[in-house]
Structure 1
Amino acid sequence: MNLIAAQILLPLAGALIAFLWPRHARITGIIVAFTLVLLALSLAFAVNADGVLRTSLGGWDPPLGISLYADGLTTLFLCLTAVVGLGASLHATGYFKSGRSESDLNSIAHGWWPLWLALWAALNALFLTEDVFNLYVTLELMGLAAVALVSLEAHAVTAATRYLLVGLLGSMFYLLGVGLLYALHGTVDIRALSALLQPEPAAWVAMALMTAGLLLKAALFPLHFWLPPAHANAPAPVSAVLSALVVKAAFYVLFRLWLGPFAPIATDLAGQLLGILGAGAIIWGSLQAFMAPRLKLVVAYSTVAQIGYLFLWFPFAGSSVAGAIAWYGVVWLALSHGLAKAGLFLAAGNILHASGHDRVTDLAGVGQHMPVTLFAVGIACASIMGLPPSGGFVGKWLLLNAAFVSGQWWWAAVLLFGGVMAAAYSFRVLLHAFRNKASTVPAHTPHPLMQWSALALAVGALLLGILSAMPLQLAEIGASVGKLELTEAP
């Protein structure tokens, strides 16, 4: 089986096994998770050695067949998905048998494994596909699996329904744009469209429709209203993969389209508008995170803010030097945020399980009884704040360089404000959690896998900044922006 196709077929087979034989779902999920980490790393080494790799499913080339490809950016996102997926899978083995009745355990755990593995397959297919219609198919499969995962908790059904409706609306806009592109040029292949699209009204309408649909799915301000309740009310492993991977997938698609087919027709005004929405997300999401009464809501609104940073690439897209610096910056932020936020949601789930609540003002004693979990929160928050030497620091520093190189200093002000606010809501949580309270006794002691998986992901965000040489080298393979150059930065 070829390395590219295996990234999709293995989790799909695992989902089928978990559905048909639920008694073996847990061991199947863990085996698949470990294997996918090895496959993602193997693909990364292959791309690093041989450059961009392509394959066609069934032996048919486009437009009849489905073309898959892996470049440096694709491979980095596959590795992120594999690492977060392994962490969430290990956490789930303890989460779904800690402090629950047997009936709850059976219903939720039996739903988690097939849905999660199906979501994993859809994510990998999305990162690897090379045409805009198959991107729609993978977005739909991803969205349906994500909604079903949110609804595993009975109290999250309303949030899941809202998520479903928003996802369907976003998909409708995206599909209308795809149909318009096909009517214009008779192809849905990304490489072909990159050569064919010209600045004209119909192309601009298609770009606007597809962008609007993806903004809904990425929960960019002010279209973020569905995200906090969905992420805050879902089971902790589900919240982790939603924040770390699912919203990133929608951004990934938009990122790819603006680097490829939309690059010849995108205007500076459109890029600035997306940057303004990103700045609004940073400001609004940070303020809401600071005021949120529950820990999982803090982390959810923090996701709204952190997604905004990714959209600060668009104002620099028209500049060759600043655009390249910002490209690497947002890639690093996406990767480091994925690891840190997954760790934060898993840690928040540990606290909720142990204490029976996650009220920020009542977190006293957490540091006494769950030091590993609180250590994970602290390290993850350091990356969210952008403190050195974390991956978050590298990403924000590159965006600051892009702002000054391009002369657009106002984006630097947004970055600095976001960093200060991230510190404010992070320290608010940590100060409450570090307070001692002799009478605080955990209702349930979190399983060791739950605590160490959260810490491992948080440490991963830190290591992404320290060990950045190979990922940077990998990111350059197939990138349209060229190598990273910082010589013009002040």
Structure 2
Amino acid sequence: MLESGVTPLAPVLILMLGTAITKIAARFRPSREQDALALLMAGVAFVSTLLLAYQPASQVVVSPWHPPTLFGSRLAYTTEGLAAPFALLTSLVCLAVAISLSKWRRETNDNGEGPRYPTVFSVSAAGLSFIYSANLITLCLSWAFLDLSLLFLVVGQKRHQAASGEQRRALTMSSLTGLSLVVAALLLDGHGLSPVLVPSLLLLAALVRVSFYPMHFWMLTDADMDPPTSTLLQVISITTGLSLLARLQGFSPQGLPYQSQLVTISSLVLLTTALSAWAEQDRRRAISCMAINQVALAVLSVAVASPQAKSSLLWSASSLALCLSLLNLWPPEPARAGRHGLWLRVPTGLAIASLMGLPFTMGFVGRTALYGSLFALGQPYLWGLSVVAEAVLFAALFRIGADLPPISNLNSQFSLWVPHLAGVIILVIPLVLLGVHPPLVSFLAADVDLPAAAELIGGADIALWAVLLLPLVGGYLLHRGQKATLERSAAFWKGFGALLRLDWLHRWLWKVGWGIGAVLRGLARVTEGEGYLGWTLLLAFIAFLLLSR
């Protein structure tokens, strides 16, 4: 049964259709036509999510079956709550990635093979399906769909090669966590009431989905990916995980489960991941560490805010997704940009300024709300720890901005950079507009109301300005002395960064789990009588019973 007009099923079907069309076009059509088809499908999907964000909450019922569900609806997609703005953010990044992929293929000489449009559309469709899910049954199916799509995305980077250990671990750990949603669905009674265990299971699922440290499984798999697809992997993890956290926030009016513990853990994670980003010498890995740090910041913002404050969650997700996309979509060979290279640096500078929380940026609004909530808690160690963590992170951001490749070759044609600029411009526009005038977000989410930037600046007291500006000064000083510090003990910092990334812990847990599985498989073979060992043991047991009489 479908409702009239645009329904949440429309963008999902459009992107799945785009997966099939671009896959077929890659075999029979030239690259320019492939790019045009991909851009058309991504644009139509974005327009449909935009229409869904502006119209009243709508729903499409996939099946009349009405199981006990957490969110009180049948097997369906819905745009209630923050689903519509989260889906719009996802489709916007998908459109930017689709625009950038054609340029990236030509610049990196992809051996004439078509870009990864099918996997990009598949991942985006799975993300929208997850965000629009109206109940736990749909959410469980979308979780599995998203995991498989992410696996195809990361494996597609290395053609004709098997999945790496990190990729297999990410899929396995994420799939096992997805079972928590199944358990939560089974625990619900016929009246839709939730036992105490259900919010805890949903919180675990949300933290794993959003790659909260140390459960950042998918974030570890993007080291060898090209920036456009790496951008999509990070943004999909952020939007889907935080959308599930928003559902949990609306489901628990009294607040998130284990809220005090979550606040403390998030504060410690902020410092740990900031140190990891600062010690990391590779720019791509430093951005990944910074992404994990900002995920912890978003979780902290939600944990310290009131359950009714939806603005902190949506604002954190939007700011982080836009800034990450702009940092990752830096062109592969900027030295060929010529005299127009300055225009390519502007989006990166805006993203860094927003992450640092400078006035009239989205980051300033988020940091103001966060420190206001931390002051209200009356626990100085929390905001003190956050200030130290941000100073270390800002040092890493200063280095990311300073390490941009040089611009040269004044004879380069500007027309070659139009696809890249078009991809970043559609991300810069909302980043700038929402930073300058935050109340614009109310057009996408009616329940979210934010003051103007001028009001926030005028209402900030001395203490708030101190905690906002001290990390900037400390980060700059740390950045100035970072090179000498890291050069003196390069081996130590390399090992320290590897220690904080926790690759060793994930490998150890994987080996332990694999060993337990091997033991269970061996017991199953013995029980089934494989290799006659089971029958031998059975006969020996019968003989023992007979002789013991």
Determine the structure 1 residue equivalent to 2:85.
76
From 379, 399, 402, the equivalent of 2:370 is 399
Matched, 1:256 2:265: no
CA distance in 2, matches of 1:447, 1:3: 36
Determine the structure 2 residue equivalent to 1:299.
287
TM-score calculated relative to the size of structure 2: 0.71
CA distance in 1, matches of 2:289, 2:159: 19
C-alpha distance after superposition, 1:239-280 (max 9, x if no partner): 1111222233123213312431x556954xx11222233223
Unaligned runs of 5+ in 2: 68-72, 462-549
Contact 1:278 1:310 in 2 (8 A): no
Contact 2:7 2:60 in 1 (8 A): no
CA distance in 2, matches of 1:258, 1:466: 28
Determine the structure 1 residue equivalent to 2:396.
425
CA distance in 2, matches of 1:459, 1:157: 39
CA distance in 2, matches of 1:449, 1:183: 50
Give the 5 Å matches for 1:309-388.
309-316=297-304, 322-325=306-309, 327-347=310-330, 350=331, 352-354=332-334, 370-388=341-359
CA distance in 1, matches of 2:291, 2:320: 9
CA distance in 2, matches of 1:61, 1:466: 46
Contact 1:171 1:213 in 2 (8 A): no
C-alpha distance after superposition, 1:293-324 (max 9, x if no partner): 2221121111011101111145336xxxx444
From 216, 227, 233, the equivalent of 1:224 is 216
Determine the structure 2 residue equivalent to 1:278.
266
Give secondary structure in 1 for the equivalent of 2:222: helix
Contact 2:74 2:135 in 1 (8 A): no
Taking a change above 3 Å as real, the CA distance of residues 177 and 119 of structure 1, as seen in their structure-2 partners, is closer
How far 1:332 moved relative to its partner? 0.6
The one-letter code sitting in structure 2 at the alignment partner of 1:127 is I
User: Higher relative contact order by CA 8 Å / sep ≥ 6: 1 or 2?
Assistant: 1
The one-letter code sitting in structure 1 at the alignment partner of 2:250 is L
Give secondary structure in 1 for the equivalent of 2:329: helix
Matched, 1:211 2:203: yes
Percent identity at matched positions? 19
C-alpha distance after superposition, 1:30-53 (max 9, x if no partner): 101111222122122213xxxx32
Matched, 1:469 2:466: no
How far 1:414 moved relative to its partner? 4.1
CA distance in 1, matches of 2:282, 2:163: 16
From 112, 122, 125, the equivalent of 2:126 is 122
Contact 1:12 1:121 in 2 (8 A): yes
Matched, 1:56 2:61: yes
TM-score calculated relative to the size of structure 1: 0.79
Determine the structure 1 residue equivalent to 2:492.
none
C-alpha distance after superposition, 1:135-170 (max 9, x if no partner): 121122112212221222229978864234223323
The one-letter code sitting in structure 1 at the alignment partner of 2:40 is I
From 29, 32, 39, the equivalent of 1:30 is 39
The one-letter code sitting in structure 2 at the alignment partner of 1:237 is P
How far 1:181 moved relative to its partner? 3.9
Determine the structure 1 residue equivalent to 2:194.
197
C-alpha distance after superposition, 1:165-223 (max 9, x if no partner): 2233233233245335424415xxxxx64xx124xxxx42x444443343233221122
C-alpha distance after superposition, 1:48-84 (max 9, x if no partner): xxxx3233135x2633952221135111112211221
Contact 1:324 1:484 in 2 (8 A): no
CA distance in 1, matches of 2:233, 2:353: 21
Determine the structure 2 residue equivalent to 1:448.
418
Determine the structure 2 residue equivalent to 1:245.
236
Contact 2:174 2:217 in 1 (8 A): no
Taking a change above 3 Å as real, the CA distance of residues 160 and 125 of structure 1, as seen in their structure-2 partners, is farther
Matched positions, count: 441
Contact 1:385 1:420 in 2 (8 A): no
Determine the structure 1 residue equivalent to 2:427.
457
Give secondary structure in 2 for the equivalent of 1:96: helix
The one-letter code sitting in structure 2 at the alignment partner of 1:472 is S
Give secondary structure in 2 for the equivalent of 1:98: helix
Taking a change above 3 Å as real, the CA distance of residues 184 and 76 of structure 1, as seen in their structure-2 partners, is closer
Contact 2:255 2:307 in 1 (8 A): no
Give the 5 Å matches for 1:35-184.
35-47=44-56, 52-57=57-62, 60=64, 62-63=66-67, 66-103=75-112, 105-106=113-114, 109=115, 112-154=116-158, 161-184=165-188
* Pairwise CA RMSD: 3.4
Unaligned runs of 5+ in 1: 187-191, 356-364
How far 1:331 moved relative to its partner? 1.6
